[in-house]
Amino acid sequence: MKAYKKEVQFTIWMTAAFVLVGNVGLIFSIFPTEAMMFGFPVKYIVPILMGWFGVFFLTIVAGKIGNRIDDEIEQENEAAESSKEAKGA
């Protein structure tokens, strides 16, 4: 059951991270600035970069960690099945 709890917590944290990174443009609308980056105003380029690369990076991280958690769940299920078979025999 620990792996299932870990998966739920991971899902909640990754959802929050995706929402935060995907909507970082709202932060720049709340706190406007006149700075420039790569020849573009920061309030435009940073939300675009965070939306593209931030979400891309989080997707890779979520995939790798999610696969590890799925492996843990599979191991727990196999251990539970083997213990049931041992008790039944």
Residues 6+ apart with CB under 8 A from 66: 7, 10
pLDDT reported for residue 88: 66
> Sorting pLDDT into bands at 50, 70 and 90, what band is 89?
low
Tokens matching residue 53: 């690369």
Percent of the chain with pLDDT over 90: 40
pLDDT digits (tens, 9 = 90+) for 34-71: 889 889 888 888 888 888 898 999 999 999 999 999 99
Angle between helices 2-22 and 55-88 (to 10 degrees): 170
> Which position has the higher pLDDT, 77 or 88?
77
